């Protein structure tokens, strides 16, 4: 089960929950329902990761991803069963949370399935879908409690989608050889890693600039203490996103290592987003 657990990326669950609950509290939604929503999104996310890794075994063999590419039939069977159980569990939980949450869950499940099975051969479309799905812990609560939502929070979500799209492009550059073996048309396989990393860096700057703009706009509505605290955390987020992104552009000999370092630090940036949420709109 170690392979299944690693492939399910269950370490994302606390980050997902923190983002869902924090933005729910920010829009004065129900925190208990938000916990349930985070469970739904987490289950579907892990099911999507498992499906993707099971489907991409040949590609992961080229990329040496360390997922199911070297697994025996028993491990693959456990992965399939675990993925189906997580998918079913997420949908059942969504059903009990209400029609709107169920619609969101069905939309996410459909997007994850289409991303892996159908859309991966289409240039940039899967990148966009992956970024939007990855940002679901932020936009799903805004849809559930849309009466308390304003334009600034949606701009905050868009900024995160741009940053997540950049991360997808960096990973496409990292996985270029495997994607070429799988006949996939990513930006990296069509135009090369250099152009892909440049496009990812541009998206990173655009997302960071929009994110900073949202923070600065709310700065003047906060007390001095909370305002400067929010700016400090936002600065940490931007540093974690941009510094390793710039390094990847200049790295050639250890390109894969540099991109992987960027991926880890961008995840740390996403883990700080709940703090920014609460500072801007709750405290």
pLDDT attached to residue 213:
93
270: pLDDT strictly greater than 80: yes
Strand intervals (E) in the chain: none
Q: What are phi and psi of 145, to 5 degrees?
A: -115, 50
Q: What is the pTM of this model?
A: 0.92
142, 184: one domain: no
71: pLDDT strictly greater than 70: yes
Q: What is the mean pLDDT of residues 66-78?
A: 84
255: pLDDT strictly greater than 90: no
Q: What is the mean pLDDT of residues 108-129?
A: 86
109, 207: one domain: no
Q: How many CA atoms lie within 13 A of 255 on its CB side?
A: 15
10, 56: one domain: yes
pLDDT attached to residue 64:
73
Where residue 283 falls among pLDDT bands split at 50, 70, 90? low
Domain with residue 82: its CATH number is: 1.10.357
Final residue belonging to a domain, choices 105, 129, 148: 148
pLDDT attached to residue 251:
61
Q: What is the mean pLDDT of residues 252-257?
A: 76
pLDDT in tens, 178-208: 888 777 888 888 899 899 999 999 999 999 9
Average pLDDT, the chain: 89
Q: What is the mean pLDDT of residues 109-126?
A: 84
77, 182: one domain: no
pLDDT attached to residue 1:
76
pLDDT attached to residue 278:
87
14, 143: one domain: yes
179, 209: one domain: yes
232, 94: one domain: no
171, 110: one domain: no
b/e for 249-280, b at 16 or more Cβ within 10 A? eebeeebbebbbbbeebbeebbbbbbbbbbbb
134, 241: one domain: no
Final residue belonging to a domain, choices 115, 148, 181: 148
Question: Which pair of structure tokens corresponds to residue 222?
Answer: 């906060």
Q: Show the domain range for 106.
A: 1-148
In this structure, how many other beta carbons lie within 10 angstroms of the beta carbon of residue 233?
18
162, 88: one domain: no
d(CA 129, CA 147): 26
pLDDT attached to residue 280:
86
Q: What is the mean pLDDT of residues 265-272?
A: 91
Domain with residue 217: its CATH number is: 1.20.120
12, 33: one domain: yes
Question: Which pair of structure tokens corresponds to residue 83?
Answer: 């993925």
Final residue belonging to a domain, choices 148, 177, 194: 148
253: pLDDT strictly greater than 80: no
202, 64: one domain: no
Task: State in Å, rounded, how far the first CA of the chain is from the last one.
Answer: 42
Number of domains the chain contains: 2
25: pLDDT strictly greater than 80: yes
pLDDT attached to residue 123:
76
pLDDT in tens, 50-70: 998 888 888 777 877 677 878
11-25, 73-87, 241-255: the lowest-pLDDT one: 241-255
30: pLDDT strictly greater than 70: yes
């Amino acid at each position: 089960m170690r392979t299944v657990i690693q492939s399910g990326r269950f370490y994302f669950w606390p980050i997902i929950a923190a983002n869902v609950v924090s933005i729910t509290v920010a829009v004065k939604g129900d925190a208990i329902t938000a916990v349930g929503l985070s469970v739904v999104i987490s289950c579907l996310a892990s099911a999507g990761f498992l499906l993707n890794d099971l489907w991409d075994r040949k590609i992961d063999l080229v990329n040496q991803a360390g997922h199911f590419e070297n697994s025996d039939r028993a491990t693959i069977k456990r992965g399939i069963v675990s993925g189906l159980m997580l998918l079913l569990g997420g949908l059942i939980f969504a059903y009990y949370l209400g029609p709107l949450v169920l619609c969101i869950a069905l939309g996410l499940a459909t997007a994850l399935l289409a991303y892996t099975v159908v859309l991966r051969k289409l240039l940039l479309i899967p990148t966009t879908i992956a970024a939007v799905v990855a940002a679901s812990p932020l936009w799903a609560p805004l849809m559930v409690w849309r009466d308390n939502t304003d334009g600034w929070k949606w701009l905050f979500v868009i900024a995160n989608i741009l940053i997540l799209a950049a991360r997808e492009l960096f990973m496409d550059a990292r996985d270029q050889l495997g994607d070429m073996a799988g006949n996939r048309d990513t930006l990296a396989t069509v135009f090369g890693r250099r152009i892909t990393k440049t496009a990812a860096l541009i998206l990173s700057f655009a997302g960071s600039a929009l994110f900073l703009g949202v923070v600065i706009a709310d700065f003047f509505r906060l007390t001095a203490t909370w305002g400067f605290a929010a700016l400090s955390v936002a600065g940490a987020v931007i540093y974690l996103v941009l510094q390793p992104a710039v390094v990847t552009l200049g790295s050639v000999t250890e390109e894969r290592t540099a991109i992987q370092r960027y991926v880890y630090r961008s995840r740390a940036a996403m883990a700080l987003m709940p703090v920014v949420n609460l500072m801007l709109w709750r405290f």
